[in-house]
Structure 1
Amino acid sequence: MRNMKLKFVFFTALMGLFLLTGCETNMVVFEPEGPVARSITELINWSLFWMLLVVVVVFGLFGYIVWKYREKPENMDYEPPEEHGSTLLEIIWTGIPILIVIALTIPTVTTLYDLDDVPNGYENKEPITIHVTAADWKWIFSYPDQGIETVNYVNIPEDTPIDFKLTSASTMQSFWVPALGGQKYAMGKMETQMYLIADNPGSYFGRNSNFNGRGYTDMEFEVLAQTQEDFEKWIIDVKKTAPTLTESKYEELLKPTHLGRLTFTGTHLVWVNHAKRDSKTYTNPELYRYHGYQGKTFEEEDNYKNNTSQDDKQHDDHVEQQHNVEDKDGGDQHHGH
């Protein structure tokens, strides 16, 4: 019995050491690049402190009790008397978890409510509004004030509040830029909202963090924080060079495909706002079977020049190949969504 207990303690300590040495240190959420992300990181660190305290105390008491009350030659036949127990100890080990929950709840609730507003220190700075539409399998960003729409990337000025208004043209998806803030859901015929700020110019990775299924795992985008001067130059350049977004082109974008980065003048908000309950529903269930086309999401050196001709050709070739396979197999082959 004694050897079994000691082996269990040794095994537990060994597993803990293995997990600690196996953890990577390059976790983006612990390297915040904006005030929103810093608030979340501070909350995570506060929670980790209490978790570590609980683990140390529990494992410390566990090891002490196993050692102190282990079976020894002099107590082989010892039978402890039946006792009522200690009322004081029961109050202590009931009260401590309650206090820990309170210590975690108060800062969590406070932080969550603070994140709904413009971060402290930026109240007098005019935010830029960007509408985010999740689609199959891409992210569409609309700048209503600038008259610009982008796909799979979004440019923002540094040190400026960005008011993201989130919705979806299809399923519920999750908008997440780990270096700048936490995730928030984008849902069809609804609108959620979040503020993000980038302290300095830089490129930040974003993605859909919801478990939607095949096709959605590659829904990635870039948030490029620029100086105010570069951001304004980008707007001017887009207005000079980007094609105009038409309603038919937008409906084509909503089809389930992986696309590269696209840029347009004008926004789809002129025809449809997916956040409104009476908005038109765009679904293409018959196209879900053809989703092997991966596109070139991050291969273009210039992140805002359109390059769709080759992508469209690859997509058409892929669909034609799928049809040929189905015809050869009697039409029974089906790549499920």
Structure 2
Amino acid sequence: QLLASPVIANKAWIYEQYDHMVRTNTVLCPGKGDAGVVRIKGTKTAIAMSTDCNGRYCYLDPYVGGMIAVAEAARNVVCVGAKPLALTNCLNFGSPMDPEVMWQFRRAVEGITKACQALDVPVTGGNVSFYNESESGPIYPTPVIGMVGVIQDASNVTDMGFKDEGDMIVILGESRDELGGSEYLKIIHGLVKGKPPVLDLELEISVQQAVLEAFETGIVKSAHDCAEGGLSVALAECCIQGKIGAKCSCQLTVDNGQQGRIGAKTSMPIISLLFGESQSRIIVSVAKTNLEQFMQIITQANIPHEILGVVGGESLIINDLIHLSLKKMEVSYQWQG
């Protein structure tokens, strides 16, 4: 159900109507990774671009939602090997004559500002669209962020798909017991409630920097951020894109708040583990021969992490909780709208 939801399902039928190979500069096509990538002719340099926003988060807490929009857009360009450079925005809201809407607008902008300052990413421009309403009321506050990043060596670009049998899968970042505003709550229970995920900007910066350092060594074979749908959906997307399965064994534990203390953990509900949308998490796969080098990078950065499992087979297996064939996942992932 989650793979088939409008937010998560494959949108290729939309973006493939446009020729994304115009001028033959495309390095990474739409849908292949967390950002699109185009080269700068005559150089090794490439540019990555991503757009992001979760209106439910902004509805539940516009300040946190604004911060998350910036952080995820930056995280997405990092997942293809790009250093976040600058952003533009499209701030979509209801009528500013409504005090509640104006409060949402103000708080969202404050959240965007906070994240931009922390990530050292300037806003180069943007636009504001007010009066987005119908008889049922205003839209969810939706501050869409367009992030651009620079890649010094385009040969290091990779997508989200798992690559080869035997590659090791590692998740960076901290998983928390949080389901507020999640795709799971919306699709399975029809609810838009709770607090959006916590965003620790210091952890976000550390995770992004560590992944970029790993990209520079050339050992990253795939990278994908955990976003809507949580860990289980992110792993499924990596399998679908790579056309190969994975066997993962997740510890049913969560960091108890001692940031960077990998062993400080308490029990965690299964639903939160599988479908919680904790921020600042990236799934990376590397060859088994490069695992030690990768672990040194993230250990030196003092980042919470876990070795999830290994790439291979024709199914996604997570503990004894999920066992889905590639074919079934691919069918569900195709847009049915």
TM-score normalised by the shorter chain: which range applies? under 0.3
Higher relative contact order (CA 8 A, sep 6+): 2
Higher strand share: 2
Q: TM-score, normalised by structure 2?
A: 0.24
